[in-house]
């Protein structure tokens, strides 16, 4: 993908479709710029950081702007914004409450409410961001600072 293509798009063009609390995958969509009838879907695994996109560029093995902007789009979702500004105690409470609500609705109607699932995934993601849980971070032995892995 060219720099011009990346700069001509922004994360606001991606719309959150939903999340899965079992896999911690968030799914976004964006209208295709080339085909008016096509809607591109991009998914990000919020544990591993794996990004999958079904746009024409990605299908051909090229980089796409959707993949470049999906993490920023996740960070600007209301659930992620709320989770980012909570204290550790409030974040834990949000996660527990969202998990309980998701389980309750799953038992009663066969599926959880999407807002509860999104809040749960956001709470888990924020906790991992704060404490590097399930992430491989290489540390420099001289300075004790994180370095690119």
Average pLDDT of the residues of the chain:
81
Tell me the three state secondary structure of residue 148: coil
- Interval 24-73: pLDDT, tens: 999 999 887 777 778 888 899 988 888 888 876 666 776 777 777 888 89
Place of tokens 């590097």: 132
User: Encoding tokens for residue 4?
Assistant: 């011009």
User: Encoding tokens for residue 7?
Assistant: 């700069």
- Interval 117-135: pLDDT, tens: 999 999 999 998 888 755 5
Rounded CA-CA distance 132/76 in Å is: 20
Q: Which residues contact 43 (CB under 8 A, 6 or more apart)?
A: 25, 26, 27, 28, 51, 52, 53
What φ, ψ does residue 138 adopt, rounded to 5°? -85, 140
Q: Which has the closest alpha carbon to 69: 35, 38, 29, 23?
A: 29
Q: To 10 degrees, the CA torsion angle through 128, 130, 131, 133?
A: 10
pLDDT higher than threshold 60 for residue 148: no
Residues 69/11, Cβ–Cβ less than 8 Å? yes
How confident is residue 85, by pLDDT bands cut at 50, 70 and 90? Answer: very high
């Amino acid at each position: 993908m060219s720099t011009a293509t990346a700069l001509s798009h922004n994360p606001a063009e991606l719309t959150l479709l939903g999340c899965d609390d079992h896999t911690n995958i968030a799914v976004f969509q964006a209208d295709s710029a080339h085909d008016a009838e096509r809607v591109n879907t991009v998914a990000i695994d919020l544990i591993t950081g794996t990004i999958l996109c079904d746009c024409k560029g990605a299908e051909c093995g090229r980089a796409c702007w959707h993949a470049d902007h999906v993490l920023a789009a996740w960070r600007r979702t209301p659930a992620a914004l709320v989770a980012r500004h909570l204290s550790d105690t409030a974040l834990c409470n949000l996660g527990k409450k969202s998990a309980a609500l998701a389980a309750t609705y799953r038992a009663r109607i066969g599926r959880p409410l999407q807002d509860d699932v999104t809040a749960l995934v956001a709470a888990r993601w924020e906790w991992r961001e704060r404490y590097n849980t399930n992430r491989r971070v290489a540390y420099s032995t001289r300075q004790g600072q994180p370095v690119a892995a």
